[in-house]
Amino acid sequence: MKESINGTVWKDINGNPIHAHGGWILFHGGWYYWYGEDRRERYYVSCYRSRNLRDWEFRRHILTMDSRMEAYRVRTKLQLQNEDGGKVNLERPKVLFNEKTGKFVLWAHFENGRDYTAAAAAVATCDTPDGDFTYHGHFNPYGYMSRDCTLFQDDDGTAYFISAARDNADLHVYRLTDDYMNVERLVHRLWQGEYREAPAVAKIKGRYYMLTSFCTGWEPNQAKYAWADAIEGRWSCLLEIGDETTYHSQPAFLLQKDGRTLYFGDRWGGDGEAYFSSSYVVYPLELTEGRLAIKPVEEIWL
């Protein structure tokens, strides 16, 4: 990647801008797969892959307005266009590989494309990490609102879906069923009334850490983090991290590589056309005497 400066628009190996906002990286079979929002044309989610986190090859628009739709046992609404034929929103897509079913399972935040009232979770699957995903629709877990979201897979394969509920006031943690296709239990309603969004989780030195932002739309704010000895155990209070704008970014996800933890954030351009000037930052996370810190390096740090 030639443009190795944080906050610039990164290019793939063909010189095209990478469209993978609010994204996620899954390491599978020796490749890093980068998924994220692609709001151009009829696309929703794009996928790139790399062996080294620097040279990214575009693979596919894995979810589009024309993706195959298939109902499954969970009652969902199968809707990849709104009533006017316009686009819906599929934000913050995350993908896990399910060992038991051999499927790549994607969860995202669904909205109707006009406003943020749907506040739902969407599910899609594929047999390969970068193939055409089949869309299984959206639903409100146990009837709750579900906005900014992430996934987390624990060492034993147990997976969690974490999303902002009650107009973002509370952050819910749902344990997933063992096929990752549904929620099985609401295990936490964290930090009620603290309005956390953009959750990102990693296990560092045996402890679980979760970064979140406050709710200021596209404008960055100061992230906070909390820790726990188990996802379903007790979480700490929220502690500040970074500066008042989290070095001009909002958490997208955390990635572990070579024993280090990387913070991937979005530097959002804003609404409409401005969205397309959104860029990315990668900062190392440092854990010193139990305190987590973001190192705001200028060069992309991989």
Summarize as ranges the residues that interact with ligand GAL (CB under 6 A).
22, 91-92, 148, 197-198, 215, 217-218, 250
Give residue number: closest CB to ligand GAL.
Answer: 217
Gap between the Cα atoms of 45 and 31, Å rounded: 18
CA distance to 51, 104, 134, per residue, from 26 (Å): 12, 10, 18
Count of Cβ atoms closer than 10 Å to residue 177 Cβ? 14
Considering the complex, state which of residue 98 and residue 242 has its C-beta at the smaller distance from ligand GAL: 242
Cβ of residue 148: shortest distance to ligand GAL, in angstroms?
5
Those residues with Cβ within 8 angstroms of residue 176's Cβ, 6 or more apart along the chain or in another chain: 158, 159, 160, 161, 182, 183, 184
Residue 253 Cβ, how far from ligand GAL at the closest point, in Å? 12
Q: Closer CB to ligand GAL, residue 88 or residue 181?
A: 88
Tokens of 46: 């794009």
Min CB(250)–ligand GAL separation in Å: 6
The residue (of 157 and 217) whose beta carbon lies closer to ligand GAL is: 217
Q: Which is nearer to ligand GAL, 29 or 272 (CB)?
A: 272
Q: Which two tokens stand for residue 181?
A: 């296709």
Write the burial class of residue 86 (CB in 10 Å: 0-12 exposed, 13-18 middle, 19+ buried).
exposed
* Shortest CB 150 distance to ligand GAL, Å: 11
d(Cα 98, Cα 88) in Å, to the nearest integer? 27
As measured in angstroms, the least distance from the Cβ of 116 to ligand GAL is 7
Distance CA 182, CA 161 (A): 9
Beta carbon of residue 35, minimum distance to ligand GAL (angstroms, whole number)? 14
* Cβ proximity to ligand GAL, 140 vs 177, nearer residue: 140
- C-alpha 111/C-alpha 91 separation (Å) is 8
- Which residue lies nearer to ligand GAL by CB, 181 or 201? 201
Rounded to a whole number of angstroms, the distance between the first and last alpha carbons of the chain is 11
